[in-house]
Amino acid sequence: MVFTDINNQQDRRDEQEFTKDETRIKERLLDTFTPYNPDVILENDFRVAAIDGSGTDSLMTLDDIRIHLLSTSTVVVDTNTQSENLFAPIDRESLESEIGEQPHIDIHWHSGVRGDARKKLAETLANIYPLKDVATLTLPFFRDYRPGEISAFSDFAGTEYEKHVPRLREMEFLISREQLLTNPTVHEEIRKVSEYAAARRLLMSDLQLKYLLLDGALSVFMHFVRHYPSMPSGFMLRDLCVLARQKNVVVCAVSKNHTIPFAHRIAGMARDVFGDNAKWFCHLPSSEDPDGGLHIYEDRTYIPPMLAVPYLYSFSRDNRPSRIDFDRIWWLENIFVPGDPGATRDNEKALFAELEFMSRDARWYGYPVPLALAHESCKLSYEDLRLAKEVCMDVRSEMGLERRKAQDLRADYDM
């Protein structure tokens, strides 16, 4: 039933839309590139960093209080083509001396008391993110979003933002989706900020990266009325992008489970055009690009994401295509050549050749190895969590606090 409905309603519509895009994708957006030779020796070996996080929003449940546990891990690898030890992680000691202990652990809790969620969340975020001055944190967004218009707080005068200015100076007021602060949302936000915090530490370090890979997408959720990010993480992302541009670091976000409609059709098309073994990418243009956005995602709100440029790519015939997002401002400065699609394409090809080169680890072929390593080192298994829970119980009993059950409530009924 469900599948019939999907087929009748959505697929049919998408099919029609896709037909309109097909030729454009095939001829202008989709392309392949020349991969590096396996024995290539780069003139300038470079470093790639990746950050991934993991966590649980219910390390412990004490009545209406939930304790969140977050683990964020940073990995830096070096292409090392000169020493033939490809993409070996830099040693742990030098990494930890630059950015602190790995993986990084954060804890958060709040109760169900009115306003408590927002207050505690704001405290935790302020605590986690290294840039403490909120005013400095909010400005980069406006600089990118309204380039040339707003570059300091004084520029808000006379704009639609004037009335919100006091809100842009307090972390707590940056959380403008208070009604939606469910446990998963809170958790998601802290996790993102924790990753962004790690990213900021990396960018401020002396590690001299060329790439900084994040897990997920570079989406920013906007407040519909106020027209600025509805959560602090949105501002932080723009802060990072500005910082990265200053430091010549390419920020990109990779997501395996993206929501690009008809990705499988694009992949099929790539196979038809370039053959089964081809490594390919496909630009997903936005309405601001020459010729505008694609029809298939015309009504899909977050594709392409604001201030980001998404691509679909595949470096391995065995896996479904993934999505990668770049900072749009960086992209306009470094990849896009106005009026010269050929030069733009050449820039894209060089970029993807490098990305592909860092995605050849046999364990995760086709997926960037630094991200895979970061994922491996941050992930919390059930066993890890069980141990963490036990530790919590022990700590409580050592502190002389009353013993309360810490497992999921459903465990009481053996469900």
Q: Residue 183 corresponds to which tokens in the numbers above? A: 């446990």
- Of the pair 274, 365, the CB lying nearest other proteins is at 365
Nearest to other proteins of 310, 370 (CB atom): 370
User: Which residue lies nearer to other proteins by CB, 38 or 342?
Assistant: 38
Should residue 362 be labelled a site residue for other proteins when binding is judged by CB under 8 A?
A: yes
Interatomic CA distance for residues 260 and 297, integer angstroms: 8
Joined together, the tokens standing for residue 298 give 């015309």
* Closer Cβ to other proteins, 266 or 372, answer by number: 372
> Rounded distance, CA 412 to CA 415, Å?
8
DSSP structure class, residue 325 = E
Residue 324 three-state SS: strand
Work out whether 87 is an interface residue with other proteins (CB under 8 A).
Answer: yes
Pick the binder of other proteins from 37, 179, 246, 381 (CB under 8 A).
37
CB distance 240 to 273 below 8 Å: no
Q: Does residue 114 contact residue 120 with C-beta atoms inside 8 Å?
A: no
Stretch that binds other proteins, among 166-174, 224-232, 259-267, 369-377 (CB under 8 A): 369-377
Instruction: Map the footprint of other proteins across residues 51-80, applying CB under 8 A.
Output: 77
Q: Which of 41, 88, 152, 225 binds other proteins (CB under 8 A)?
A: 88
Measured from the Cβ of residue 368, the count of other Cβ atoms closer than 10 Å reads: 28
Maximum Cα–Cα distance across the chain: 71
CB of 62 to other proteins, least distance (A): 28
202 counts as binding other proteins under rule CB under 8 A? no
Task: Establish if 360 lies at the interface with other proteins (CB under 8 A).
Answer: yes
User: With respect to other proteins, which residue has the nearer C-beta, 121 or 373?
Assistant: 373
> CA distances (Å), 31 to each of 24, 253, 300, 348, in order?
12, 20, 24, 9
352 binds other proteins (CB under 8 A): no
Report in angstroms how near the CB of residue 354 gets to other proteins at its nearest.
Answer: 14
- Kindly indicate which of the ranges 143-151, 226-234, 259-267, 354-362 contains the residues binding other proteins, using the contact rule CB under 8 A: 354-362
Question: Based on CB atoms, which residue is closest to other proteins, 88 or 401?
Answer: 88
Rounded to whole angstroms, the Cα distance separating 77 from 90 reads 6
What lies within 8 Å, CB to CB, of 363 at 6+ separation is: 372
Report if residue 38 touches other proteins, rule: CB under 8 A: yes
Q: Which amino acid is at 348?
A: E
Residue ranges binding other proteins (CB under 8 A): 35-38, 77, 85-89, 316, 360-363, 365, 369, 372-373, 376
